[in-house]
Structure formats: C-alpha cells, structure tokens
Chains A and B, each alone.
Chain A
Amino acid sequence: MSINTFFQHLSNGLALGSLYALIAIGYTMVYGILRLINFAHGEIFMISTYVVFYGVSMFYLPWWVSILVAILITGLLGIIVERAAYRPLRNSPRISVMISAIGASYLIQNLAIVIFGGRPKSFPIPDYFNTVIQVQGVSVPIVNFFIPVITLVALVVLIYIVEKTKTGMAMRAVSRDYETARLMGISVDNIVSITFGLGSMMAAIGGVMWGLKYPNLIPLIGTMPGLKAFIAAVIGGIGNIKGAVLGGFLLGMTEIMIIASLPDVTGYRDAFAFILLIGILIYKPSGLLGQDIGEKV
C-alpha cells in the first residue's frame, strides 16, 4: 500500500467514523437515561432526512430552514415515541420495553414506506458541498471536513449541558436512580422527555450529514446506521458521551482499515461490526470508557 493510498484510507475512515460518532451521541444519551436500546433511533434518523427532502423539494424552503425544521420535528418525534412506546412500560421487565422498541421501529419504518413510498429519493445537496479538495494526492470531499467539526462541536455542547447545567445534573440523577431523583424533586418524566428530544435532535443532525455524504434516501436507510451507532456506543461504554464519539471513530476506522488490508473479505463487512460488538460485550461489557455498574440484584 502506497503512502497516498494509506492516507486516503485514513481520511475515509475519519469521515465515516465521525459520522457514526455523531449518531452514536444521541443513542448513548437515551441509553444512559433509560437503560433501553432504542431501536427506533435509526428510524428517527431516517425521518429527519425525509423532512429535509420534502422541505426543500416540496415546500421550497431554503436549505438551512429545512434543516432546522427537520431537527425540530425529529426532536418532537423522539418525545412522542418515548411517550407512546416506552413510558407506559417504565416499570415493566426490560424485555417488554425492548419488544415495544422493536415494534416502534417497524411501525415508523412501515409508515414511512406507506407515506413516502419505496422508491429512492435524492437528498438535496447545495452545490457548495459537491466540491472535492485535493490534499497531497488525497481526495477529500468538502463534507468530510464538516462532519468531524460538527461532531466535536456537538460533543462539547452536550458535555456542557450534561455537566454544567441544572437539567444536565437532573439527567445524571435520573440515570442513576429514578426513585431517588424523584424524591429530590426532579420531574423524571420531563427529564426523560428532554433527553429523548435532545437525543433525537442529534439523530437529525447526523441524518443531515449522512444525507450530504450519501444522498440516497429510502425508508430503510436508518436501520444499518442505527445498529452501527449502537455498536459504537457499546464500544465506547454505553451512556458515556465521550465514549460514543471514541467508539464511532474506532468503528469507522476499523471497517475501512479491514477492507483496506484484506480486500478479499469486503463482503463480510457488516459481520465485522457485529463481531466487534460481541467481542466487546463478552470481554469488556462496560465499554472502553464506561464505568462498571454492578449488576443489580
């Protein structure tokens, strides 16, 4: 492998990894507070891309307005999903909640097929984002510069919210123990809603970036990124925002580098992500940055 090719792979891995990281942030927030694998996260992500598409192509909204609308609508959708599918089950076995999550995910996906149709749509990309920059023989589409920056900004903002604001303190309290948090005068329901709203907004930002990089919209696009984001969150230590970003980078980089070094196994790509997931679950279930919370008896 020549140096140029290597750096090209590195740049590709960085872009893919930061995209995974961006989606994983939202995933991990929701998990952190509810201890729930939110299968619908990928579907919420998918809806955001469609909102931008319809905003631009049907309502002729300026591009950035569509994005704002998408972020708002997806945030709202996240809150609705939590109210309808998860809140009634808050005191039920986790298996029930998970089944409900699977149901919610399939429901949104099939509704999207019914409403948007199955034919692919092309995500609207402003011309500016079609530029490719050459750096020392390495080609970098301009959107690849934006994604890591946005991921880092999102990381900083969310860490600020969680660690420095009152809401963030309440979130941390709720994620530790509902009952105690309630006794402290925290409205658990509100905090959970806010977390879902924020997490879903992050999914929307991830969705917009995804659309800019991969402008191919079908109702199924949320599934794989959703799973990958979940895997990234597990790698980093689920519930941990910094861990999610780290996990995303690692996952993206691993996927690219495995194909780069072993071109014959490209067909097995998705299997690697799952093997990574299972390996982490077995050997380090708390993830790279997660803290060990003992099994509750």
Chain B
Amino acid sequence: MKKVTFLLVLVLILSLALTACSAPAAEAPAGEEPAAEEPAAETEEVVFGVFEPLTGAYAAGGAMELEGIELAQELYPEVLGMPIRVVVVDNKSDKVESANAATKLVDQEKVNVVLGSWGSSFSMAAGPIVEEAGVPAIGTSCTNPLVTLGNDYYFRVTFIDSFQGVVMANYAYDVLGAEKVVIVQDISNDYAVGLAKFFKDEFVRLTGDEESIMSIANYNTGDQDFSAQLTNIKAMNPDAIFAPGGYSETAMLVKQAKELGLEAPFLGGDAWEAAEFLEIGGDAVNGVVFSTFFDAAAPLTPESEIFINAYREKYGEDPASVTALAYDAYILAIDAIERAGSTDPEAIRDALAETVGFDGAAGVVTLDANGDAIKNAVIKTVENGEFTYLTTISPK
C-alpha cells in the first residue's frame, strides 16, 4: 500500500514538473538561442551576475526585472568585443538566500558586475558582500536609502524615496490643493514606510501644519481586506489619500475604497505601475495619481524608444517601470565598462561613480555621491483603464 502511494505521488509530481518544464520553454522565442551562441567559445567573456526574487512572495517583481535584463542582453550581447554572459540566481524573496546568492555570484561565478535586486532588503543583504569582494553592484528598483548609504560599491539607476515623496507631496499641495491628507501604508514593506515618511515630512513642511497628516493607517503585505481602515478614513473626509505600497494590495485598497464611496483621490509611488494594477483594480483605479520613472507614451530618451519598441515586439504589451530600470542597470554596466575600457571590477566601480547624464530607457541618470540616481520623475494617472502621462518633474 505504501509503495503504491509512493509511486502515485512520484508520478503526480513528475508529471506536474514536466508540464511546468515545457511551459517556459514554449514561451521563449525560437530566434533567441542562436544569437546567444554565436560568439566563439574561446573568446574571453564578461559576466553579469543577476540576483532577483524568482520564487517566494516577490516572484512577480523579480520576473518583471528579469524581462528587462533578458531584453537588454538580446539587444546588446557584447561589450568591448567580448560576449556578455548573464548568470541569474534566485534569492527566493529571502534575505539569507540573497546573501548566499550574491556570494555565489562574486565568489564562484567571478562576475564583473552584479545587477539587482527587486526589493531593497535583498539588496541590503548583498551590500556587504559586494563591498568586501570589491565588485560593483547596480540596484534596479530598490529605493530604500539604506541600500547605498555608506557602501562605495552599491549604485542604483532609480531615484530614492526621498525624492519621490517630495514630488508627490508637492503634487498634492500645489495641484490638488490638498490641505488634509491621510496616509495608508504597508507597514511591513520598507519601501512604503520610507516613502510615507518622506511624503509626510514634506507635506507638513509645505502646509506648516503638524495636523495636516490627519492619520496614518497601516496594513500588512498580503492583506486583502481594507474595509475597516477605509471606513475610518471615510469618516475623516480627507482631501487626498497617500497610499504607498505594492500594486496588488493597493489595487484592492482602491477598489474597496470606491465601493465604500470614498471620493478622495489616491496618490502613490512607482510600485503601482504594473499591468496587474489595472486588471485587479478595474474601473476603480481610474483617477489615481502616482510618480514613476518613465512612460512608454512619452519616451524620455532615444534609448526609451529602442527599449519600448523591442519590448512591445517581444511581449506584445507595454513594459512596466521596473522592467525599464532593470534594462537600464544592464546597459549602464555596459556603458561603465566601455568608459573604463576594462572589465576589472574596480575600474568598473570607478567609472560607475562618475556617471553623468547617461541616457537610460527610464530617463537620464546622473549618480550622486551616495551612488543614487538623480533623475526626472514622471507623474502619471490612470484614465479609462490605462496609464496616462501627466507631467515630468525635474529634481531641484
């Protein structure tokens, strides 16, 4: 009996695994393979190490960024005449695994540069490892200020939350004329907590009124029901609601707010920009306003157009912001290697630190002393179920 059960389980698992095996293989376009194998095996190669959450709670974010890196590799398969090999490791949405993954990249794969990761806490886990190994890392969408702080080897192609929070606070105050705002944040998400803090500071400064933030309500990543928090907020009748958090939670949040008849506009950050935000939120998310890096409808640089066209051709839809950032991390690495004229990690680091006015798909990147990108923010809204460009805001 036991043996039969054992076999049954084994067969079930194997068949499931096999069906899963065939799925991703079928999705990959047939033309991809020869391009990667063209260069002769003997030539030296440059290795880009990518660590992203491909499983676990943040697998979605990792998948979107990986798309950007894969696309960039198809377009730019070599640097200094050498082929680029991309090594992808999964950090399982887990901090300990991130550190292991990063160690594997710098120590075993001997990568020249590290790219990633979605989720600041995973990047922070890799921070001391790349620093100690003397390999530069380019963060994609990690916006927590602590990622690059005091680490000479960590850079990023995204602006940090302090800028984004200021942009949205100004938008709420100047454009919406809001004076009383409620914040709803994902308390277990470092990105949301940081963004909320910077928004709050700037908004209080603008209004000169400590009471202008009427209340801060919290929820946790993975929560689905926000009705109690929203009912409380409705009773306060704020002018606007600032709701930094992940796109799937926020889509549910906004949807439930509309069902409760909450009319105040929702403001947020770049994390909302994903096709799923529109699908899950449906009609309810029309009218939300958020800051982000770039817009497919208003390309910021010539590189944006190359990226958007290539993405549309490959996937048949518009890319998400984080996909553009991952793409930028890859091409910025190429740019730094070309400027350094060397693939030595130290040389790449020095070149990266001097990045000024680099044309990326998600805007022009200039890195400041911390290694954080100073770049424009784009403000977008949702109209008729589509992301729509509103305006571009430059850093002061």
Closest-by-CB residue of A relative to B57 is A220
Known: A16-B227, A132-B259, A216-B224. A118 touches B60 (CB 8 A): yes
Indicate whether A120 sits within 8 Å of B60 (C-beta atoms), given known contacts A141-B259, A221-B224: yes
The answer to whether B231 touches A260, judged by C-beta atoms less than 8 angstroms apart, is yes
Flag if A118 contacts B222 (CB, 8 Å): no
Q: For the complex, give the distance between the alpha carbons of A33 and B107 in Å.
A: 53
Given A119-B60, A216-B224, A216-B280, do A266 and B8 touch, yes or no (CB 8 Å)? no
Closest 6 pairs (CB-CB, A-B) = A118-B59, A267-B218, A259-B228, A12-B227, A122-B279, A214-B224
Distance in angstroms between the alpha carbons of A270 and B222 in the assembled complex = 11
A266 touches B219 (CB 8 A): yes
A12 near B228: Cβ-Cβ < 8 Å:
yes
B6 to chain A, nearest CB (A): 9
Smallest CB–CB gap between A188 and chain B, Å? 14
Question: In this assembly, does A149 line the interface, its C-beta being within 8 Å of a C-beta of chain B?
Answer: no
B-side contacts of A213, CB under 8 Å: 224
Interface membership of B26, Cβ < 8 A: no
Most chain A beta carbons < 10 A, residue from B12, B62, B232: B232
If the complex has contacts A216-B251, A263-B215, are A8 and B57 also in contact, measured as CB distance less than 8 A?
no
CB distance from A87 to the nearest CB of B (A): 7
Binary contact readout A1-19 vs B (1 if CB under 8 angstroms, 0 otherwise):
1100100110011011000
Pair B55/A9 contact, Cβ less than 8 Å: no
One of B13, B252, B260 near A8 (C-beta < 8 A) = B260
Q: B16-56: which residues lie under 8 A (CB-CB) from chain A?
A: 16-17, 19-20, 23, 54-56
Decide if B187 touches A267 in the complex (CB within 8 Å).
Answer: yes
User: B2 near A: Cβ within 8 Å?
Assistant: yes
Give Cα A9 to B234, complex, Å.
Answer: 11
Cβ–Cβ < 8 Å partners of A139 in chain B: 259-261
Size range of the interface on B?
35 or more
Write the nearest CB–CB distance from B214 to chain A, whole angstroms.
10
**Nearest chain A CB to B238's CB is how many angstroms away?**
13
Q: Does B175 contact A (CB under 8 A)?
A: no
Give the shortest distance, in Å, between B4 (CB) and chain A (any CB).
Answer: 10
CB closest residue in chain B, given A83: B5
Chain A interface helix/strand/loop/mixed: helix
Q: Smallest distance from the beta carbon of A120 to chain B beta carbons, Å?
A: 4
Q: Does B276 contact A (CB under 8 A)?
A: yes
Question: Cβ of A110: which chain B residues have Cβ within 8 Å of it?
Answer: 55
Contact A266 B218 (CB under 8 A): yes
Interface string of B115-131 (1 = CB under 8 A from A): 00000000000000000
Whether A122 contacts B276 by the Cβ 8 Å rule is yes
A224 adjacent to chain B (CB < 8 Å): yes
Asked if B225 and A214 make an inter-chain contact with CB atoms under 8 angstroms apart, the answer reads yes
Q: Which residues of A lie under 8 Å from residue B63 when comparing CB positions?
A: 117-119
Q: Are A115 and B19 within 8 A (Cβ)?
A: yes
Q: With A83-B8, A119-B59, A120-B280 as given contacts, are A267 and B220 in contact (CB-CB < 8 Å)?
A: yes
A169 part of interface (Cβ distance < 8 Å): no
Q: CB of B282 within 8 A of chain A?
A: yes
Q: Are B60 and A130 in contact (CB under 8 A)?
A: no
* Residues of chain A contacted by B2 (CB below 8 angstroms): 88
**A269 and B231 within 8 A (CB):** no
**In the complex, which residue of chain B has the Cβ closest to the Cβ of A210?**
B224
User: Using Cβ atoms and an 8 Å threshold, which residues of chain B touch A130?
Assistant: 282-283
* Complex Cα gap A80–B20 (Å): 20
**B229 proximal to A (CB < 8 A):** yes
Interface pair A114/B17, CB less than 8 Å apart: yes
A266 to B225, CA, bound (A): 12
Chain B neighbourhood of A2, CB < 8 A: 235
Q: Is A84 interfacial (CB 8 A cutoff)?
A: yes
B7 to chain A, nearest CB (A): 11
> Taking CB as reference atom, which chain A residue is nearest B187?
A267
Give the residues in chain A near B64, CB-CB below 8 Å.
119
Q: Assess whether B217 is interfacial by the CB under 8 Å rule.
A: yes
The 0/1 profile, CB within 8 Å of A marked 1, for residues 183-218 of chain B is 000011000000000000000000000000001011
* 18 A-B residue pairs with CB within 8 Å: A2-B235, A8-B260, A88-B2, A115-B23, A117-B59, A118-B56, A118-B62, A120-B280, A214-B224, A214-B252, A216-B249, A216-B280, A218-B248, A259-B229, A260-B228, A260-B231, A266-B217, A267-B188
Annotate B254-279 by CB proximity to A: 1 below 8 A, 0 otherwise.
01000111000000000000001001
What's the Cα separation between A214 and B259 when bound, in Å? 12
* Partner among B55, B232, B252 whose Cβ is within 8 Å of the Cβ of A263: B232
Chain A residues with CB below 8 A from B96, complex form: none
A9 engages B5 (CB within 8 Å): no
Question: B249 to chain A: which residues have CB within 8 Å?
Answer: 216
Report B292 CB to chain A, min CB distance, Å: 19
The answer on a CB contact under 8 Å between B20 and A114 is yes
Which B97-126 residues have a C-beta within 8 angstroms of A? none
**Beyond A121-B279, A260-B228: 8 further Cβ-contacts under 8 Å?**
A1-B235, A5-B232, A113-B55, A215-B280, A220-B222, A260-B231, A260-B232, A269-B219
CA distance A141 to B259 in the complex (A): 6
Chain B residues with Cβ under 8 A from A121's Cβ?
276, 279
Chain A 94-119 residues near chain B, CB threshold 8 A:
110-111, 113-115, 117-119
Closest to B231 in A: A8
Q: Distance in Å from the Cβ of B277 to the closest Cβ of chain A? A: 9
Q: Which residues of A166-219 have CB atoms within 8 Å of chain B's CB atoms?
A: 210, 213-216, 218
CB contacts (< 8 Å) of A13 on chain B: these are: 228
Q: Are A267 and B261 in contact (CB under 8 A)?
A: no
CA distance A139 to B231 in the complex (A): 10
Is there an interface contact between B235 and A256, defined as CB atoms closer than 8 Å? no
Residues of B with C-beta under 8 A to A266: 217-219, 228-229
Q: A88-B2, A139-B260, A214-B252 are contacts. A115–B280 as well, Cβ < 8 Å?
A: no
Q: Which residues of A contact B228 (CB under 8 A)?
A: 9, 12-13, 255-257, 259-260, 266
| Interchain CB contact under 8 A, B252 and A216 | yes
CA distance A141 to B260 in the complex (A): 8
Q: Are B217 and A263 in contact (CB under 8 A)?
A: yes
| Most A-side CB within 10 Å, residue of B2, B54, B252 | B252
